Amino acid sequence: MWAYVVLTELSRGAAPTRLAPARAVDVDKTKMVAIIDGMEAEGLVSRRPDPDDRRARITEPTAEGRKRWRGARAAVRRMEDGFLAELPPARRAAAPAAPRELSGEPSTRLSATS
């Protein structure tokens, strides 16, 4: 699961260093290092020095990482399509965005009432 999430973030081109995907997916940077180490060992990502910051490394999906991500994304979409098939078209189209829109609600609600 974490590999899929990280590859999704890297595929957007917005997360070149390990800290960027850690922030984007809200995981501790120490855990992100372990996730990326495992992904690198599987050949899903590669890391290279950042030319602008010698302490940082740029993480990029490899051809195999992109291939696996596309396969996983297609499987997720097929599963979503099957799960949502009985909904009317308008509700089906809106359903995939709902979790993203609602994901911050519980913490927002808790901090507003504290």
C-alpha R_g of the chain? 17
DSSP category for residue 48: E
Task: Look at the alpha carbons of 59, 65, 69, 72 in this order and tell me if their dihedral is positive or negative.
Answer: negative
Instruction: Answer for the pair 4, 42: CB distance below 8 angstroms, yes or no.
Output: no
Q: Which residues contact 33 (CB under 8 A, 6 or more apart)?
A: 18
pLDDT, tens digit, 9 for 90 and up, residues 24-75: 667 788 888 898 999 999 999 998 888 888 888 888 899 999 999 999 999 9
pLDDT surpasses 80 at 99: no
Answer yes or no: pTM beyond 0.85. Answer: no
Mean pLDDT, rounded, of the chain: 80
H/E stretch holding 100 reads: helix 98-102
**Helix pair 29-41, 2-11: axis angle to 10 deg:** 90
pLDDT at residue 54 in the model: 82
